[in-house]
Chains A and B, each alone.
Chain A
Amino acid sequence: MSSGPQAQVTLAPPAPVFARRTLADRESVLGPLMLAPALVYVILLVGVPFVLAILLSFSSATAGSLDFNWVGLRNFTRLLSDPQFHRSLGNTLRFMLVSQVLVMVLAVTAAHVLDAAFVGKRLVRSLLLLPWAAPVALASMAWVWIFDSTFSVVNWTLKVLGLLPGWLYWFGEPGLATVAIITVHVWRMFPFATVIVLAGMSAIPQDIREAAVVDGAGFFRRLFHVNLPMLLPVVTVAVLFGVVFTATDFSVVWLLTRGGPYNSTHVLATLAFQRGILGANLGEGAAVALFLLPVLLVAAVVMLRLARRAEVGT
């Protein structure tokens, strides 16, 4: 009992009653104030455009006009009967699913390779990140040349090797254009996923791995029964990122094919740009852009719950 007041006197002498409290002392003000710039930034650059897009999707707004005519769900109902929209929606889902499956297979494989000890491992890890770090516009320009229908370096190489009897018109045929787009998506996304999986692997307790080895579990048994279950939360996060990035990506498709040939490779983002900005049909463009939002929201919630459950389970 007696030590309390003594300690108070020694460690924290009471401030004089006239002491002026400045902003730096008032955390209830300082905290929000320090957060404000980031908050304003997000509200102005994400929140406002987002709300504006929702409002536009219920209007017949056109570029070159600031008039706002409420049309209810007309833009959405019109889209539901638009074959080009159906195709774009299908492409968005197809590109997303196929690329994510490939990304995860490649990422888990690469993570296991990079987890092993070998000479030059650090260099390989750094190089692996290059596709992720490279500006997408720059990278896509390189891929445009790699897959150019007339001058494709892939074609020329295959020709020289005697492996290509005809010619592959990468961007001129919908199937090949799809392959090209998915290739670039995978190339971009898999380094990021690899890094995440690598981080997850380093978090797996060494004794569990060693116990599996001692118990005589082979590589695939360890992979499917030890590593992957324990990696599930982190893999889910990587997939979630990948899904969101791929489903909302505009630049890869636009820079590679601009939605061609004959609108066959449009995704929702590029169709929205074509209809809303180039075609001056802002209302319809906004409706296209927002169409996937509920789907992505549900996917995100489900995946985060899965990840949480897996985490709790571990």
Chain B
Amino acid sequence: MHDRTSRTRGAGDPNHREGVKLGMDESRKAAGAGAAQAEDVRISRREFIRKAAVATAALGMPYFYVPKYSLAQQRTLRILTWSHFVPAFDEWFDPFAQRWGRERGVQVTVDHVSFADIVPRANAEVAAQQGHDLFFFLSPPSAFEPHVLDLRDINQEAERRYGPMVPLVRKSVYNPNSRKFYGFSDNWVPDPGDYLKSVWTAVGYPNGPATWDDLIKAGNEIKRRFPEIQIPIGIGFSQDIDSNMATRAILWSFGASIQDANENVVLNSEQTIRAVEYGVRLFRECMNPAVLSWNAASNNQALNARQTAYILNSISAYRTAQDNRLPVADDIWFVPALRGPGGRWASEHVMGVWVIWRFARSPDLAKEFLLHLVDNYRDAVLASKLYNFPSFMGSVADRRVPVAEKPDAGRRWMRAAVIRDPFGSNPPDKLRVLADAEQWSTNIGHPGPANPAEGEIFDTYLIPDMFAQAATGRLSVREAVQQTHRRCVEIFRKWRQQGLVGGGRDR
């Protein structure tokens, strides 16, 4: 009724001109007393559309107009990074970036995301071909190589200023097949063992474990003497980043690896069988199914709640205990990577790699900022409470030291810092084992380089799953290894077809 009536009225209709919408029924009402007052608050369709259009235009204007104007006036740099496990670092980094921007007339935006959202976010930006200029990853982002700029220039410039980058860092930012530096790393993080000194002292290991064998021996003893500790040894076999690191450390320490130095898949080996057999023993004797479900925070929480006596982690669990003034902080001590039949290896806990997208609007500013960040890396290390280790050791050396001597000087400074922890460790040299972390730390992909195949295996948790399936008896050790090997071969083949991975003589 309303519609038909509206159509029959033209601009000449006095009711229409007055902005009163009338239908047939309403016409009758209008004749009644008091109706005019009620209808004053109603608006006509025309008026509604006009007002809605004006409001939409007013609301939408800034999105179409202001940015264009401001972009023309000011350069911008958009940065995406993670929410650091040590929150104090972010409190330093954000103002640091803003200050750099102010000094150069650059508007800097820093966005933080949870570590688990980094890869999905990167995929979204690549798909949209827009997003941030500078993007930070926690592990080598080799799969994104086709979409990032070659950062050879700033890697070389940083080496010119501070000497060579740490070898494990080079393997995490450089693809030897394409000869491209797909990333620029400012930091890496060691992954020592964290243990409760009082518990380990009570079972005869006052300095903590030194070998993987110690872990099982002491774990059994802890289980016997400390029944209140639910999980004597807390090494995750779960779908999380820490489990990825820990299970690789076991593999490497038993002489096994996913790929060899030339990127051939060699997982299916007797060394891997022995490593997984060890994992099965460790699980059955010293752990429980909780470790199959752990997330990145679980081992920290279990250690700080004294529900486990040993974890493989960075120092973030310890720093959290300190920050929260937990009594357990003084009881947390550290050991280097454990020794196995194949050597003593631990994965880096974090490999901080920045990339600059091909579609970045301000690539030059991004490069300038990265070099500025490395120029100030001593501050960054301290802001992270010694969590971040510099990728260019020379960057933390005294500025007056000649370039040739900077790497050694930087290492001496790091050693001094961890031996006399300025952040309240008791005793101050508790972090001493980190001084040699470079010697027992290695990269994802060891003994070869990081590559997209290793990245996919890492991000789909194939190695922790291999240990878990064997540990729970769902598959035999040999079946678990063979099944995982087959999947690894498939993944390597796929990436080789794209020319991003070398090798081809898979076992």
Contacts and interface: CB of A to CB of B under 8 A. Distances in A.
Contacts of A21: 10-11
A188 interface: no
A64 interface: yes
A65 B146 contact: yes
Interface in B114-148: 119-120, 122-123, 126-127, 129, 143-147
A259 B456 contact: no
Contact of B472 (A16, A30, A257, A262): A262
Interface in B444-464: 452, 455-456, 459-461, 464
Contacts of B10: 15-16, 19, 21, 25
B46 A278 contact: no
Contact of B498 (A11, A15, A62, A149): A62
B6 A172 contact: no
B465 A263 contact: yes
Contacts of A30: 49
Interface string A267-289: 00000011101111100000000
Given A15-B11, A171-B293, A275-B460, A24 B49 contact: yes
A277 B123 contact: yes
Interface in A63-78: 63-66
Interface string A1-44: 00000000001110110011111110100100000000000000
Contacts of B12: 15-16, 19
B238 interface: yes
B257 interface: no
Contact of B288 (A167, A260, A274): A167
Contacts of B292: 149, 169, 171-173, 260-262
Interface stretch (B184-192, B294-302, B343-351, B435-443): B294-302
Contacts of A281: 456, 494
B9 A15 contact: yes
A167 B290 CA distance: 10
Given A22-B46, A262-B474, A63 B468 contact: no
Contacts of A20: 11
Interface in B2-17: 3, 5-13
Interface residue SS majority, chain B:
helix
A263 to B, nearest CB: 6
B173 to A, nearest CB: 15
Query: Which interface residue of B48, B145, B455, B459 has the most chain A CB atoms within 10 A?
Result: B459
A149 B289 contact: yes
B239 interface: yes
B291 interface: yes
Contact of A259 (B145, B239, B298, B498): B239
B307 interface: yes
A65 B498 contact: yes
A185 interface: no
A181 interface: no
B295 A62 contact: no
Given A19-B11, A169-B293, A278 B459 contact: yes
B224 interface: no
Contacts of A252: none
Contacts of B461: 263
A172 B49 contact: no
A172 B465 contact: no
Contacts of B464: 262
Contact of A169 (B9, B145, B289): B289
A261 B24 contact: no
Interface string B210-245: 000000000000000000001100000111100000
A260 B291 CA distance: 11
B473 to A, nearest CB: 11
B399 interface: no
A68 B13 CA distance: 60
B291 A172 contact: yes
Contacts of B469: 262
Nearest to B295: A258
A177 interface: yes
Contacts of A177: 293
A278 B457 CA distance: 10
Given A262-B474, A263-B465, A169 B6 contact: no
A157 interface: no
Interface string A129-173: 000000000000000000001110000000000000001011111
Contacts of A278: 119-120, 459-460
A64 B147 contact: yes
A122 B9 CA distance: 48
A259 B122 CA distance: 22
Contacts of A62: 143, 494, 498
B146 A64 contact: yes
A264 B301 CA distance: 24
Contacts of B289: 149, 169, 172-173, 261
A278 B293 CA distance: 18
A279 B7 contact: no
A12 B122 CA distance: 63
Contact of B126 (A63, A169, A170): A63
Contacts of B27: 11
Interface in B287-334: 288-295, 298, 301-302, 305, 307
A20 B17 CA distance: 12
Given A11-B27, A65-B146, A65-B147, A279 B293 contact: no
Nearest to A173: B289
A231 B12 CA distance: 54
Given A16-B11, A21-B11, A277-B120, 15 more contacts: A19-B11, A21-B10, A24-B49, A64-B146, A64-B452, A167-B230, A171-B292, A172-B293, A177-B293, A258-B295, A260-B468, A261-B472, A262-B239, A262-B292, A280-B456
Listed from nearest, the 8 A-B pairs whose CB atoms lie closest are A15-B10, A172-B289, A19-B10, A171-B293, A261-B292, A149-B290, A169-B289, A24-B46
